[in-house]
């Protein structure tokens, strides 16, 4: 059990547990446990923690054996005086032994290492729960506010408890991981509520933290290699968080298209320079939507935000006395095409269809199809649909004539407060492949479905 002499430190058992822990850490950092049908990594971590705590008991409560002679226990027929003397001697020995345990720097070093390793194991168990919830969000509604709260709480488990020199690198990596993931999830929530300032500031902070973590990780790897020109590769969690960051950057250029465009123009740029800057995004949502808009011959594409009684400003911020919009203003389009024409012509019908058929758009990905016939005055310079359609007529004596035009509406929910509408000036099939396939892909990307799905893909498929 002991490595040398009378040492109380069970190093051999500890090293065996570290090997098991290393295997768990390998699965944790690669997220490979999320692809397993029988995911028991939390049980493995718990077992390691329990076994390590058992090692602490061996140190803090050293066992003593009854004095024997030649392997045979001494007879019980000792006089009371000898028994009393033995008990006094044993008590003195135990007290001296405990004092030596407390004062031994090697034992103190080992005890703190084991205790703080158990703390890190608990953090891993909690973080596995967070990543598992992210994967589950693909198929079920998830409260991301609760996830953010969890990531606010987890650091309190270890922040002041990890001080061992051998664990400071792990602590730093864990700090970066939790901080970046928490901020990116805050951005995800803020974007879905169209909160411009918080989203942009947190994206900026996340970019800084990703770079700092990269530098820290790269420095540690260079210290551990003998190569004169080591090729650094970021850990898998850093890689995934970088993908998450890039996805949110792309999303921000769409959801905050008008505020960002205004900032660019106020700083001497042009709309073209703004478009050139967003070309670096992957995907470039605006470019995707423009291509779809032209290919499918749509007359209107809009992404709408439901204010739900809260102030809203197209520029991304509101003054304190700003009142919550009402009527059509409570459903502002945060992005639309074409941009050279105001969207007002289509808003009444879109919002009316949305409010009347909300039951069919309760969940994300729900797609609603609607065909409407509208009377249009044909002899006016600007034709405008007249609500309530039905039939056609002809004027006499130079009066206006009317024709019936068919309009097809596709509506799909993205988030609780965000939906998309596409309008066509003809009758489209409900299962039109161009429209259905594009909207499916777009919603998947905006909801980060594919991003969260990466977590559970096997390492070989990455």
- Cis peptide leading into residue 283 (ω within 30°): yes
Is there a single domain that holds both residue 398 and residue 427? yes
Per-residue pLDDT at 62: 52
- Residues with Cβ within 8 Å of residue 251, at least 6 apart in sequence: 191, 285, 446
What is the pairing mode between strands 333-337 and 385-386?
Answer: unpaired
* Four-CA torsion 452, 454, 456, 460, nearest 10 degrees: 180
> For residue 290, is it within any domain?
yes
Write down which residue in 231, 247, 281 finishes a domain. 281
> 264, 277 in Cβ contact below 8 A?
yes
> For residue 161, is it within any domain?
no
3-state class (DSSP) for residue 372: strand
- Cis peptide leading into residue 326 (ω within 30°): no
> For residue 68, is it within any domain?
no
Per-residue pLDDT at 148: 97
Per-residue pLDDT at 378: 66
Is there a single domain that holds both residue 314 and residue 402? yes
What distance in Å separates the CA atoms of residue 84 and residue 90, rounded to the nearest whole number?
A: 10
Is there a single domain that holds both residue 124 and residue 236? no
Is there a single domain that holds both residue 265 and residue 294? no
Is there a single domain that holds both residue 292 and residue 208? no
Is there a single domain that holds both residue 365 and residue 416? yes
Is there a single domain that holds both residue 398 and residue 415? yes
Is there a single domain that holds both residue 210 and residue 290? no
Per-residue pLDDT at 389: 45
Q: Please list the residues that pair with 424 across neighbouring strands.
A: 408
> For residue 158, is it within any domain?
no
* Tokens of residue 334, six digits: 């945060």
Is there a single domain that holds both residue 301 and residue 411? yes
What distance in Å separates the CA atoms of residue 18 and residue 15, rounded to the nearest whole number?
A: 5
- Residues with Cβ within 8 Å of residue 238, at least 6 apart in sequence: 176, 210, 213, 214, 217
Is there a single domain that holds both residue 41 and residue 128? yes
Write down which residue in 281, 301, 318 finishes a domain. 281
Is there a single domain that holds both residue 306 and residue 269? no
> 45, 121 in Cβ contact below 8 A?
yes
> For residue 261, is it within any domain?
yes
Per-residue pLDDT tens digits of the chain, which is 462 residues long: 444 445 678 888 999 999 999 999 999 998 988 887 777 899 999 999 999 999 888 776 654 443 333 343 444 444 444 444 444 443 444 444 444 455 678 888 989 999 999 999 999 999 999 999 999 998 888 999 999 999 999 999 999 999 999 999 999 999 999 999 999 999 999 999 999 999 999 999 999 999 999 999 888 776 654 444 455 577 899 999 999 999 999 999 999 999 998 888 888 888 788 878 777 888 899 999 999 999 999 999 999 999 877 877 777 776 666 777 788 989 999 999 999 998 999 999 999 999 999 999 988 888 999 999 877 666 555 444 544 444 334 444 556 677 888 999 999 999 999 999 999 999 999 999 999 999 999 999 999 998 998 888 754 444
> For residue 293, is it within any domain?
yes
Q: Specify the number of domains making up the chain.
A: 3
> 409, 386 in Cβ contact below 8 A?
no
> For residue 40, is it within any domain?
yes
In the DSSP assignment, the letter for residue 367 is: E
CATH number (domain holding residue 332): 3.30.450.240
> For residue 242, is it within any domain?
yes
What is the pairing mode between strands 402-415 and 72-73?
Answer: unpaired
* Four-CA torsion 24, 30, 31, 37, nearest 10 degrees: -70
- Residues with Cβ within 8 Å of residue 216, at least 6 apart in sequence: 172, 173, 176
Is there a single domain that holds both residue 292 and residue 266? no
Write down which residue in 281, 312, 343 finishes a domain. 281
Closest CA to 33 of 105, 130, 123: 130
What range defines the domain where residue 197 resides?
A: 166-281
């Amino acid at each position: 059990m002991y490595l040398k002499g009378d040492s109380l430190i069970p190093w051999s058992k500890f090293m065996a547990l570290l090997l098991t822990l290393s295997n768990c850490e390998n699965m944790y950092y690669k997220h490979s446990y999320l692809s397993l049908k029988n995911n028991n990594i939390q049980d493995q971590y718990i077992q390691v923690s329990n076994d390590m705590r058992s090692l602490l008991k061996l140190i803090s409560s050293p066992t003593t054996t009854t004095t024997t002679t030649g392997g045979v226990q001494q007879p019980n027929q000792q006089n009371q005086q000898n028994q009393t003397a033995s008990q006094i001697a044993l008590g003195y020995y135990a007290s001296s032994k405990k004092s030596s345990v407390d004062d031994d720097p090697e034992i103190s070093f080992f005890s703190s290492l084991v205790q703080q390793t158990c703390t890190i194991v608990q953090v891993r168990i909690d973080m596995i729960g967070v990543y598992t919830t992210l994967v589950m969000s693909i198929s079920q509604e998830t409260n991301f506010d609760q996830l953010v709260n969890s990531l606010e709480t987890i650091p309190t488990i270890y922040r002041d408890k990890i001080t061992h020199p051998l664990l400071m690198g792990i602590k730093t990596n864990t700090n970066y991981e939790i901080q970046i993931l928490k901020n990116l999830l805050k951005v995800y929530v803020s974007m879905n509520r169209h909160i411009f300032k918080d989203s942009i500031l947190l994206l900026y902070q996340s970019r800084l933290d990703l770079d700092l973590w990269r530098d820290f990780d790269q420095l540690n790897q260079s210290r551990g290699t003998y190569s004169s020109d080591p090729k650094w590769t970021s850990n898998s969690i850093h890689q995934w968080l970088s993908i998450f960051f890039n996805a949110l950057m792309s999303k921000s250029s769409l959801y905050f298209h008008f505020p960002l465009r205004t900032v660019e123009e106020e700083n001497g740029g042009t709309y073209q320079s703004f478009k050139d800057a967003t070309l670096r995004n992957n995907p470039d949502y605006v470019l995707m939507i423009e291509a779809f808009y032209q290919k499918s011959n749509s007359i209107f594409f809009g992404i709408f935000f439901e204010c739900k009684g809260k102030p809203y400003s197209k520029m991304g911020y509101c003054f304190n006395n700003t009142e919550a919009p009402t009527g059509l203003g409570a459903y502002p389009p945060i992005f639309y095409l074409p941009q050279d024409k105001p969207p007002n012509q289509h808003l009444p019908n879109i919002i009316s269809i949305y409010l009347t058929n909300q039951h069919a758009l309760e969940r994300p990905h729900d797609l609603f199809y609607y065909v409407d016939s509208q009377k249009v005055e044909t002899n006016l310079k600007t034709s405008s649909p007249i609500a309530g359609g039905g039939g056609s007529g002809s004027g006499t004596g130079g009066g206006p004539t009317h024709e019936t035009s068919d309009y097809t509406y596709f509506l799909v929910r993205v988030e609780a407060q965000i939906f998309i509408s596409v309008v066509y000036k003809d009758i489209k099939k409900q299962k039109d492949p161009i429209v259905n396939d594009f909207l499916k892909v777009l919603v998947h990307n905006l909801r980060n479905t594919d991003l969260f799905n990466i977590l559970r893909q096997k390492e070989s498929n990455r």
